[in-house]
Amino acid sequence: MRNIGILLCALACSLCETFAQGYKNPVIPGFHPDPSVCKAGDDYYLVNSSFQYFPGVPLFHSKDLVNWEQIGNCLTRESQLNLKGANGGSGIFAPTIRYHEGVFYMITTNVSGKGNFLVHTTDPKGEWSEPVWLEQGGIDPSLYFENGKCYMVSNPDGYINLCEIDPMTGKQLTPSKKIWNGTGGRYPEGPHIYKKDGWYYLLISEGGTEVAHSITIARSRYIDGPYVGNPANPILTHACQAGETNPIQGTGHADLVEGTDGSWWMVCLAYRIMPGFHHTLGRETYLAPVRWDKDAWPVVNGNGTIQLDMNVPTLPLQTVKQKPETITFENKQLSPEWMYLQNPDMQNYEFKNGNLRLKATPVSLNEQKSPTFVAIRQEHFNMEAATSLELKDAQANDEAGISVYMEYHSHYDLFVRQNKDKSRSVVLRYKLGELEHIEKEMPLNSKGNIELNIKSDINFYYFGYTENGIYHELGKMNTRYLSSETAGGFTGVVLGLYSVSASTQSKAYADFRYMKYKGE
């Protein structure tokens, strides 16, 4: 009887976990903005914008809309993604993902390239097609399929435009038609079309992707309008009394999806604020339930706001594989969340003897180019990160380390440097706009691997290093100087391993043994 009781208790615990109610926002933390979602059978797929980072458009999979696992990136080849000269305000803007008759489509804008394009695949985990370039301009394009036709919406000249296209060739089949310009908020963008109960619904973002961000919606009996706005617009915003004290701000740029049980859900971007209304982690992916009665307007989470703790019914929850706290390089490949600045020269990246080897080049982190640099996103205010590296064959002023990086003009660098007298130092340096300064440097007594350590809370980054098992503190830097409000751009802080040479004659390289990341 005792064994039966134990089994029943274990089964009950398992069922409670599977059908647990509620979840925590953001569902995809860190720099994961402009989410778009689609359903294919019992599976959900989600994409985000990626700006100057390569590969482009991270791709996630889920069974429950709460737990997401990155399974790849849509744009993995330079022929798909030219990022030369891109920064945190250019490159790949908001994508849309759609599934139709066995084919996945991803449509987006390369602001640094030729504009709007789409790619497709029958296997989202595999390679996506070469780009199909589109005629209609604007940004944030989206697709809608119906009766053998494919429609595209985007926002040229600040007005939502509709046209019919051939998604395989990119040919525009009908003239662009203006169908709605929102409720009067600035930057009407991020359009998506849905059909429900005989109505065409047009969902857009307004107000800009800062504090005034909001989601509005209109509908029509005809796909090309006229569209009439919801009298209760906006249907999601925190630029209101109900949301003004919320730790989540900037809610907007959303997409809707119907669950396998008939429920409706919205994914959107927002950011978690720090003191002074700053944010460093970038715009993140959030989830909210939607009540959408027949012939009625959708209502987001009851009152058009969202919370960090969402005590609402969910789809049956299914856990996904968690990312390891220590990333090693023994399997000779990087997982999909790693990313490079612009288009990398892959000859500078190598797996050797269980290490990630980064060959130093004269391109520094201060240039709007592609240095030898590969990064993961910071996803938590409170986190610990570390890497162990050995700098080899170095000449004077060659360096390698880890950068807390927001933009080429805004980063904190912790690195090992080769000195003129052939000694080595650990250096803490900052670059903030026109200001560049070595905050502290400490001589090293050994020539082997050095562990570089970074911790953070909501106010500061703390820097140090470990040599021969002894930890040495170097100093701290204020988080707000790397915030979007100070540094600008549309991205978030990333933690990048890098190697830079002081001259073209240098043959220096750095072997990185691991990357640790732990957040809470």
DSSP per position, 91-126: SB---EEEEETTEEEEEEEETTTTEEEEEEES-TTS
CB-CB neighbours of 245 under 10 Å:
7
Q: Which of 64, 164, 189, 379 is catalytic?
A: 189
DSSP annotation of 167: T
Q: Please measure the distance between the N-terminal and C-terminal CA atoms of the chain and give it in whole angstroms.
A: 41
- Distance between alpha carbon 373 and the CA centroid of its chain, in Å? 18
* Amino acid in position 374: V
Q: Which helix (H) or strand (E) holds 24?
A: strand 23-24
Query: What whole-number distance in Å separates Cα of residue 105 and Cα of residue 60?
Result: 14
Question: 3-state DSSP call for residue 413?
Answer: strand
Query: What whole-number distance in Å separates Cα of residue 258 and Cα of residue 261?
Result: 8
For 252-288, b/e burial (b = at least 16 CB within 10 A) is bbbbbbebeeebbbbbbbbbbbbeeebbbbbbbbbbb
Within 10-138, strands assigned E span 23-24, 36-40, 43-47, 53-54, 56-62, 69-75, 96-100, 103-110, 115-121, 132-133
Give yes or no: 413 in active site. no
DSSP annotation of 456: E
Helix ranges restricted to H, 136-262: none
Query: What whole-number distance in Å separates Cα of residue 430 and Cα of residue 448?
Result: 25
Give yes or no: 34 in active site. yes
- So which residues are the catalytic ones? 34, 189
